[in-house]
Amino acid sequence: METMKAINRRKSVRSYTGEKISREALDTVLQAAYAAPVGMGKYENFHLTVIENREFMQAIEEKASAMFGKPDLHLFYGAPTFILVSSKPDGAEKVGGIDYCNTAAIVENMSLAATDLGVGHCYIWGGVAVLNANPDLVARLNLPEGHTPCSGIILGVTTEEYTDRDIPGQRIGTSYLR
């Protein structure tokens, strides 16, 4: 798919068959993450955890239901894979929020790659919120020293397709100073 087509067709998928994407597709998505821009090129401050442990994902979902007060919430929508992006602040506090900017860039690259491959995906902030509220769950991930969860994306086989979308012009307020 050409770049602008993928950008237009990208969407959040919230329905999954439960089947994992192929190993090859997962590797392509990870490759897209590695190609993402990060501030000052400090790639050593980021970590990806490919989570496919059903019991662990269920534990996150249960905590999410309680946290958001929605017993029927299925945070991962039946997707079998959750890629968590963690970061180590390493001076990021001096330029507030840069770790979140970096991890968003990494997730967006994975999102566009998933669109190109035709595999289901959705940015999932809820999983990050749950993890950060539950240090016992984070401990099970054995993240590298000093890293904390910042962003995440689910992946899985879907019956949905990525088709051309009508994106409303200027739905993000835009002004110019020329």
Site residues (vs ligand FMN, CB under 6 A):
11-12, 14, 122-126
Q: What count of Cα atoms within 13 Å lies in the side-chain half-sphere of residue 38?
A: 25
Nearer CB in complex with ligand FMN: 56/123: 123
* Comparison of 11 and 42: residue with beta carbon closer to ligand FMN: 11
Q: What minimum distance in Å lies between the beta carbon of 81 and ligand FMN?
A: 15
Q: How far is the CB of 127 from ligand FMN (least distance, A)?
A: 7
Tell me how far, at minimum, the Cβ of 34 lies from ligand FMN, in Å. Answer: 20
Q: Which is nearer to ligand FMN, 27 or 132 (CB)?
A: 132
Between residues 14 and 20, which has the closer beta carbon with respect to ligand FMN?
A: 14
The contacts of residue 66 (CB under 8 Å, 6+ apart) are none
Rounded to a whole number of angstroms, the minimum distance from the CB of residue 128 to ligand FMN is 8
Least Å distance, CB 38 to ligand FMN, is 17
